[in-house]
A and B are shown apart, each in its own frame.
Chain A
């Protein structure tokens, strides 16, 4: 009958979420609709079907090219949103984690419960995104369903790494810098809006190292049914390794902050 401690932490997140779920559900529908209409349909009509730029899209319409990349980017944003101020607040301001640690909950349960909760949110936003994509005619079923676990994996890599970062900080000064100098540039230059091959040769290797590049490529190949086992394997292993590294770092940071 006993519930694993991490799931009891998860229950806490779910209880808090219940207060805001309506607004959150609406925005997870509205976001993809707005993005895909404006960028995919609107801007997409200016992107020709011929010429070198079009060739770099691999013969896809801009909407179809863009949609799965955006799914990965949305997963990144969701993960970041759940793992910055929320984590710092639970450690430092509201001390929600301290309160949990007065009970049989352990630090590892807090981390596992947090990541499990982020996973739920990621399934929800990427699932909704896939539905909207499908309505826009930008998904090839049945393999498109695999874009959800791919998006979740992408999001988890960010969630683990950003949680480690947030837990290691003493105040929220670093979050704006993280947004400005890491997350936004990654959003713009990791292959979501145009292929990385269009970047200057010097910068390209940096793009290849970003987690988002691997997430975008993975989601795109799965959502469009253009599955090439080699690259898919590399993307999955790279992202999974980042989840692992991020989790270990986050655990260490939690120990330093919470078990003093």
Chain B
């Protein structure tokens, strides 16, 4: 680890955030390499946003060591922030200004010359498909448009590192896919992305590597694929029974799988071969209302690690 630390864009050791008696982030360690796409996955309240705010040099570190771009946030916060692009959970756009004015003033915060800001703003509006809304007020824009404007804004200083806190929460599927595409293009250009999410598909789409956080701690780390291999089986058999039946099974199907998970509406059987398991369920005289065999996903890893479903 130590020899990598200097090459890391972000390096955290024992990173801790306390609010009075409450510990929001409890001594976590992680490194983010240049060009990497790194995700913090976890339920609400796991400590993701607090971690992001410390990386963003907004929230002071309570304990531990944090280096961002090789610098100490406590000493060089303003200098670090000059090279970050931040997309916060809530857009924080200036509703009294137009789309273009939002970019212009934001560029000024970085002390960029107006000529350069104008040129970049035009490019960025094109990049996020808002060129024809440049002179419109921000207030009436859709949620997806505001989110895209926030992303364009965060790119005005051509950041080395982007921090995205739940970039697509609350957006409709089309808007999410457009955003993912734009983030993927940034990644292709070599921009390092650090994001938080509680969407499994988002993490699988965007992250090279991720950590799962639960109750202020990191509980697992790896690529989406390696996490699935490590914490789940190749396939999952989902059984949905008529109301009341699932409660009467008393574990009589447990020996058909490496592990089972009883959700309120269905039973999950973790097994290398879902079809074979389904056949044996029928052989034992059970007739579920629906049977689904699928590949394991991060959602399953999440259920295993945190013991509850993600979007709560």
**With A11-B108, A102-B86, A104-B109 known to touch, is A259 a contact of B81 (CB < 8 Å)?**
no
Interface string of B167-193 (1 = CB under 8 A from A): 000000000000000000000000000
Nearest chain B residue, comparing its CB with the CB of A106? B78
**With A94-B95, A259-B60, A260-B19 known to touch, is A103 a contact of B106 (CB < 8 Å)?**
yes
Q: How far is the CA of A98 from the CA of B150 in the complex (A)?
A: 13
Q: How far is the CA of A11 from the CA of B121 in the complex (A)?
A: 18
Select one of B19, B93, B97 contacting A16, CB under 8 A. Answer: B97
Q: How far is the CA of A260 from the CA of B94 in the complex (A)?
A: 22
**With A11-B105, A94-B95, A259-B60 known to touch, is A104 a contact of B82 (CB < 8 Å)?**
yes
| B interface bracket (residues with beta carbon within 8 Å of A) | 20 to 34
**With A11-B105, A260-B19, A260-B59 known to touch, is A104 a contact of B110 (CB < 8 Å)?**
yes
* Residue numbers in B under 8 Å from A95 (CB-CB): 88, 90, 92
**B96 interface residue per 8 A CB criterion:** yes
**B39 interface residue per 8 A CB criterion:** no
Select one of B56, B88, B92, B108 contacting A96, CB under 8 A. Answer: B92
**A99 interface residue per 8 A CB criterion:** yes
**A226 interface residue per 8 A CB criterion:** no
**B309 interface residue per 8 A CB criterion:** no
**B84 interface residue per 8 A CB criterion:** yes
Q: Are A98 and B78 in contact (CB under 8 A)?
A: no
**With A101-B58, A104-B111 known to touch, is A19 a contact of B105 (CB < 8 Å)?**
no
Q: How far is the CA of A95 from the CA of B157 in the complex (A)?
A: 20
**B235 interface residue per 8 A CB criterion:** no
**B77 interface residue per 8 A CB criterion:** yes
**B101 interface residue per 8 A CB criterion:** yes
Q: Specify which of A9, A94, A102, A260 lies most central, judged by the most chain B CB atoms within 10 Å of its CB.
A: A102
Q: How far is the CA of A102 from the CA of B80 in the complex (A)?
A: 10
* Residue numbers in A under 8 Å from B84 (CB-CB): 102
Q: How far is the CA of A259 from the CA of B255 in the complex (A)?
A: 53
* Residue numbers in B under 8 Å from A15 (CB-CB): 97, 101, 104-105
**A140 interface residue per 8 A CB criterion:** no
Q: Are B109 and A8 in contact (CB under 8 A)?
A: yes
Q: Which residues of A contact B (CB under 8 A)?
A: 1-3, 5, 8-9, 11-12, 15-16, 19, 94-96, 98-106, 258-260
Other than A3-B108, A103-B106, give 10 A-B pairs with Cβ distance below 8 A.
Answer: A5-B111, A12-B94, A102-B81, A102-B84, A102-B92, A103-B110, A103-B157, A104-B81, A104-B110, A104-B111
Q: Which residues of B contact A (CB under 8 A)?
A: 19, 53, 56, 58-60, 77-79, 81-82, 84, 86, 88, 90, 92-97, 101, 104-106, 108-111, 113, 154, 157
